[in-house]
Amino acid sequence: MNCWEKKIIDAFISRYMAVAPRDEAAGTFRNSMRLRSVSIFPDFDQAVPDEKESYLEAAEALERKGLIRLSWEKREKGERLKTINCVNMEKLFEHLGMLEPRRKADLIRLLFRNKLTDLERGAEAGARAAEDLSVKNTIAFLRYLAEQFSSREVKWDMDLKAAEDFANLLDVFLNPGRSRSMTTRALSVSLYNDSKRMENILDLFGPALSQAQKQGIPLPDFSFLERSFPETLISGRIRLEYLNGRLPPLVNAAGLILGLPAESLKEIRSVRTMSGGETPSVLTVENKETFYALGDPLNYGSGGKARYDCFLYIGGYPNKAAATLIRILAASGFRFFHAGDLDPDGILILQNIMDIAGRPVSPLRMDAPTFDRHLPLARPLNKVMLHQILKIRKDTRDIPELSALIRRIEETGKGVEQEIIDYR
């Protein structure tokens, strides 16, 4: 198959993959499809003669194979194509060694149905499903796949082997102990003898997971397969109290900088200050360099920094760890202050912190006087960066310091990076 033959076939398959789910939902079956030649080769008129000839020869070769029919412009037969018609899409898929999406979906549903039957026959699985939420959700999701998996979830490179591999992955949730103390890639090797196969399988079945979620189907918790380990930093003389009081609090009497991963924060109930004040405060800091300058315990008593009980590193838009700690601090009664870049994204990060905390956040040195003082060192913002201003809500704009700052950013088209600001 030459280049133009592949492009013509790919154009039909791409269009078919887009409309087949809609037809299936409407209860219709479309086995023929017509495309305008210009949609496949839009630059035909400007192309060099050799390229035109290659395209037409490829179309005629596919016609001789019985895969398509050609319709020529009047008076230009053999020179300019009008439309290309595929009268049998199933045959076109067969030519590529592929199953038509609906046929493929039928076989995949059958595979999941057989898997579900095997599980339901097992008394052990049934007993565990009654008491283990992970097992129960996995079986509910498998039942959904067995009944409702359709061509809308079928991707080009999805085959029955991929469905079998996905079913093997679901076995992990039926036997949780199997995956303990294993990295995602090690588990992938254990299941498939391929360290990247699991990522590929999750990508292939992403649409099925999305559809199930939209319909309120319980899903297995795939989060443990994510190769992402968000962490954040906090400093201050604080103590972290565990859920249910099972353990003594984690006390940071020296106010050192602590690194906390999202996984550990699942066990934290609240944050308290060593001073025991009724209205503790936290300064969230956007950039790491500034956080280390402000959060250093040797500096707590100097200047305005003494007003904050702890300092939290945000690192831009809060990751899962930072967001979790923001919620814990909010629930623990902390007042929020924020220091960030003096640009649209810096303001949007403050807005994001307000949304996560569910309470007001006061800006620190995010104001017009600080902006003007550093204007000679400000950086120009491109149109994309300036367009971010449109995402700033009215309640954020109404904060006096930010209202004036936004005006100066719009007037100058510039932004000031936090790292050059003196917070003393």
Q: Are 84 and 37 in contact (CB under 8 A)?
A: yes
Q: Are 294 and 311 in contact (CB under 8 A)?
A: yes
Report the alpha-carbon distance of residue 402 to residue 363 in Å, rounded.
Answer: 8
- Residue 397 sits at φ, ψ, to 5 deg, of -65, -30
> Measured between alpha carbons, how far is residue 63 from residues 67, 85, 97, 349 in Å?
6, 10, 18, 58
Would strands 335-339 and 281-285 be described as parallel, antiparallel, or unpaired?
A: parallel
CA-based radius of gyration for the chain: 30
Which whole number is the average pLDDT over 277-304? 82
pLDDT exceeds cutoff 50 at 123:
no
Helix/strand/coil for 341:
coil
Residues whose CB is less than 8 angstroms from the CB of residue 105 and which lie 6 or more positions away in sequence, other chains included: 149, 150, 151, 153, 154
For residue 148, give the amino acid letter.
Q
Which whole number is the average pLDDT over 357-383? 96
pLDDT exceeds cutoff 50 at 294:
yes
327 token code pair: 């919620």
pLDDT exceeds cutoff 70 at 66:
yes
Q: Are 162 and 153 in contact (CB under 8 A)?
A: no
Residues whose CB is less than 8 angstroms from the CB of residue 91 and which lie 6 or more positions away in sequence, other chains included: 66, 67
Question: pLDDT tier at 244 (50, 70, 90 boundaries)?
Answer: confident
Contacts of the segment 27-36: beta carbons below 8 A, 24+ positions apart: 29/102, 30/89, 31/87, 31/88, 31/89, 31/90, 32/85, 32/86, 32/87, 32/88, 32/89, 33/85, 33/86, 33/89, 34/83, 34/84, 34/85, 34/86, 35/11, 35/83, 35/84, 35/85, 36/82, 36/83
Report the alpha-carbon distance of residue 91 to residue 213 in Å, rounded.
Answer: 34
> Measured between alpha carbons, how far is residue 239 from residues 225, 271, 378 in Å?
31, 6, 39
Reported as a single tens digit per residue, the pLDDT across 131-158 is 577 788 888 899 999 998 887 888 777 8
Helix/strand/coil for 44:
coil
> Measured between alpha carbons, how far is residue 212 from residues 49, 138, 161, 266, 391 in Å?
51, 12, 21, 26, 31
pLDDT exceeds cutoff 50 at 277:
yes
Establish how many alpha carbons lie within 13 A of residue 48's alpha carbon, considering only the half-sphere containing its beta carbon: 2
Residue 131: per-residue pLDDT: 57
- Residue 230 sits at φ, ψ, to 5 deg, of -65, 140
Helix and strand counts by DSSP (H, E) for the chain: 19, 14
Reported as a single tens digit per residue, the pLDDT across 154-175 is 877 788 899 999 998 888 877 7
Reported pTM: 0.65
Reported as a single tens digit per residue, the pLDDT across 7-19 is 999 899 888 888 8
- How far from chain centre, in Å, is Cα 328? 24
pLDDT exceeds cutoff 60 at 77:
no
Question: pLDDT tier at 415 (50, 70, 90 boundaries)?
Answer: very high
The whole-chain average pLDDT of the chain stands at 87
Reported as a single tens digit per residue, the pLDDT across 321-356 is 999 999 999 999 999 999 999 999 999 999 999 999
Residue 179: per-residue pLDDT: 61
Question: pLDDT tier at 383 (50, 70, 90 boundaries)?
Answer: very high
State the DSSP code for 87.
S
Q: Are 363 and 402 in contact (CB under 8 A)?
A: yes
Residues whose CB is less than 8 angstroms from the CB of residue 174 and which lie 6 or more positions away in sequence, other chains included: 119, 125, 128, 135, 138, 139
Report the alpha-carbon distance of residue 327 to residue 33 in Å, rounded.
Answer: 54
Q: Are 85 and 32 in contact (CB under 8 A)?
A: yes
Residue 305: per-residue pLDDT: 55
Helix/strand/coil for 302:
coil
Q: Are 340 and 405 in contact (CB under 8 A)?
A: no
Reported as a single tens digit per residue, the pLDDT across 203-241 is 889 888 888 888 888 888 787 777 778 999 999 999 999
Residue 126: per-residue pLDDT: 52
DSSP assignment of 213-254: HHTT-----GGGG-----EEEEEESEEEEEGGG-S--EEETT
Which class for 35: exposed (0-12), middle (13-18), buried (19 or more C-beta within 10 A)?
middle
Give 81 or 404, the one with higher predicted confidence. Answer: 404
1 token code pair: 């198959």
